[in-house]
Amino acid sequence: MAQWRQLPESTRPELRLLIEELRHLKKASGLSLAGLSARTAYSKSAWHRYLNGDNLPPRDAVDAFGALGGAEHHARLLDLWDRAVRPPEPAAPPEAPRPAPPAEPVREPSGRRPHRRTVTVAAALALVGSAAWAALPHPPEATPAAPAPPACRGASCQGDDPAASPCRTDARTQSALTTASYAVKLRYSPSCDTIWSEVRNSSTGADTESPMLVAPDPRQAEACAEVSHKMLCTGDVPPG
């Protein structure tokens, strides 16, 4: 009786199942390699290579051998061969960070404390290391003495890209939150009455910004970013 070589750990699971099934059927049939060669169109040495795992048997060889074992073995062997020759599916590449549209501020009924609403950058950002993070003071940026008139204001700016808008001329950082790898900022333009969120990758210097949102009062808003499945948020209004 032939002693088959142990298949290496790197053998694909589909190919391993096919070879083991072929070995099982040969043992159950009681055929020698010479007898198997006589029943199929493939030589004794070819079947030795197939059963030893040195070569992948052609489909015709598996078809002829499977027919000797009955309909159940025949169908299973052909299915295993089809799966063994099918190329493995490559893993999908990770999506690049991209900002999501910000949420609209909601006015509360009179007499109730207003709740802040979030401007969220829903980007999957990998946080390097495990350093703790904390809110840091960030002074407002200087405002030009005579900014150019904005191209839009209020509702007409809703959803616009701040990178392509004059609203950035007098924009200031309302609040900020930094980690070892990222900085999250709430940006506000007084001339346009708009806010947006900005996330900076500290290692690459790349910025990701959300579209603008109408917000006459930036104290009722916050900017958030998702980092390693955790939300990092910054805003002036204390939790209510």
First to last CA, the chain: 79
Task: Tell me whether residue 136 is exposed, middle or buried, using C-beta atoms within 10 angstroms of its C-beta: 0 to 12, 13 to 18, 19 or more.
Answer: exposed
Identify residue 51 by its one-letter amino acid code.
L
Query: b/e for 53-86, b at 16 or more Cβ within 10 A?
Result: beebbeeebbebbbebbeeebbebbbebbeebee
Q: Comparing C-alpha atoms, which of 92, 36, 96, 86 is closest to residue 61?
A: 36
Confidence check: pLDDT of 168 > 80: yes
pLDDT higher than 90, residue 88: no
Q: What is the mean pLDDT of residues 30-34?
A: 92
- Predicted local confidence at residue 83, as pLDDT: 93
Stated as kind and residue range, the H or E segment containing 21 is helix 13-29
Q: What is the pLDDT of residue 34?
A: 93
Q: What is the pLDDT of residues 214-237, one digit of tens each?
A: 887 888 888 887 776 677 788 875
Helices 59-68 and 44-52: angle between axes, nearest 10 degrees:
90
Single-letter amino acid code for the residue at 150: P
Q: Which residue has the higher pLDDT, 111 or 167?
A: 167
Condensed to tens digits (0 to 9), the pLDDT of residues 103-145 reads: 555 454 455 544 444 444 443 333 322 333 333 344 444 555 5
Strands 221-227 and 230-235: antiparallel
Widest Cα–Cα separation across the chain: 97
Long-range (24+ apart) CB contacts under 8 A made by 80-84 are 80/14, 80/17, 80/18, 80/21, 81/18, 81/57, 83/14, 83/17, 83/18, 84/12, 84/14, 84/15, 84/17, 84/18, 84/56
Classify 13-85 by CATH class: mainly alpha
* pLDDT digits 0-9 by tens, 190-213: 889 899 888 888 888 888 889 988
Helix (H, G, I), strand (E, B) or coil at 188: strand
The pLDDT of residue 123: 39
Per the DSSP assignment, residues forming a β-bridge with 195 are 188, 213
Taking residues 69-91, what's their average pLDDT?
Answer: 85
How would DSSP label each residue in 159-179?
A: T--GGGSGGGGG-EEEEEEE-
What mean pLDDT is predicted for residues 13-31? 92
Residue ranges covered by each domain of the chain: 13-85, 117-141+150-235
Say whether pLDDT at 179 is over 60. Answer: yes
Structure-model confidence comparison of residues 48 and 104, the more confident one: 48
- What is the residue whose two structure tokens read 């088959």? 4
Task: Point out which residues pair with 189 in neighbouring strands.
Answer: 194
Average predicted confidence (pLDDT) for the chain: 76
* Bigger pLDDT: 67 vs 128: 67
